[in-house]
Amino acid sequence: MNAMFNILETREKLLKKFVEQGNEPRILLKGAGYGIRVILQDDAAEDELLEEARASVEELARIAGDTGLVIDCKMRKLTPDFLSRLLCDFVWAGGFRVLSWTSDDTETLELFRNTGFTTGEPVAGRPDRERVESGSLILTQSLRSGQMVEHDGDVMLLGHMNEGAEIRASGNIFVHGRLKGVVHAGTRGGEHGVWAERFEATQVRIGGKICSSLGRESAWWGKAVLIALENGQLVARELKLDFAS
Cα–Cα distances in Å, from 44 out to 35, 50, 52, 199? 24, 10, 10, 37
pLDDT at 80: 87
Largest distance between two CA atoms of the chain: 61
pLDDT at 161: 92
Contact criterion met (CB below 8 Å) for 76 and 43: no
pLDDT at 20: 46
pLDDT at 13: 40
Domain ranges of the chain: 34-115, 136-238
CATH topology of domain 34-115: Rossmann fold (3.40.50)
Backbone angles phi, psi at 125, to 5 degrees: -100, -150
- Going by C-alpha positions, the residue among 78, 141, 81, 71 that lies closest to residue 107 is 78
pTM here?
0.47
Residue 31, number of CB atoms within 10 A of its CB:
27
Strand-pairing partners, residue 184, are 168, 205
Give the three-class secondary structure for 245: coil
Pairing status of strand 136-139 against strand 154-157: parallel
Mean pLDDT in order along the chain per 10 residues (245 residues): 30 40 67 79 85 82 76 89 86 84 88 80 47 58 82 81 86 89 84 86 81 69 84 77 46
pLDDT at 61: 78
Q: Kindly tell me the burial class for residue 49, based on how many C-beta atoms sit within 10 Å of its own C-beta (0-12, 13-18, 19 or more).
A: buried
* Dist. CA 188–CA 16, nearest whole Å: 27
Backbone angles phi, psi at 221, to 5 degrees: -60, 125
Contact criterion met (CB below 8 Å) for 198 and 179: yes
DSSP string, 161-191: B-TT-EEEESS-EEEEEEE-SEEEE-TT-SS
Given 3.40.50.1360, 3.30.70.270, 2.160.20.70, 3.10.129.10, which CATH number is that of 136-238?
Answer: 2.160.20.70
Q: How many CA atoms does the CB half-sphere of 71 hold within 13 Å?
A: 17
